[in-house]
A = this chain, B = another copy of it.
């Protein structure tokens, strides 16, 4: 298992990790299989979405904030129930097919770490299967 670390600097932030995942695959010279990209946290997510116009991510964060506002009548006293709920809605892992040593992403797809309770130091766990 590979561990990638990153530092977020906003409460809600999407970080493009596509290039770093490609480096992992290159390092292991995996030819054929799939890769699991997993967040070990409970207030963040991993998603695959558009890598071209950053406004897509802005719109997504804004909509998630409207659907799950930070301040409601939550009972969890740490004040981050919204972050936990977003984590479950988005999901904490993705899987991608690997063929001929290539990460099989669609033309417009990028892989994003979704911070919902930053700024924090975060880990992403990555494992390749053949």
Chain A residues close to B by CB (< 8 Å): 1, 33-34, 36, 38-42, 47-50, 53, 55-56, 58-60, 63-64, 67-68, 72, 74-78, 81, 84-85, 87-97, 99, 104-109, 123, 125, 127, 129
A81 touches B97 (CB 8 A): no
Residues in B neighbouring A123, C-beta threshold 8 A:
106
> Contact at B129–A33, with CB atoms within 8 Å?
yes
Question: Are B38 and A42 closer than 8 Å at their CB atoms?
Answer: no
Given contacts A58-B75, A84-B56, A129-B129, contact A36 B34 (CB under 8 A): yes
Identify 17 new A-B residue pairs, CB closer than 8 A, beyond the known A33-B129, A60-B85, A93-B95.
A1-B97, A34-B127, A38-B96, A38-B104, A40-B109, A41-B108, A42-B49, A48-B92, A49-B88, A55-B75, A55-B76, A55-B81, A59-B76, A64-B85, A88-B90, A91-B91, A97-B127
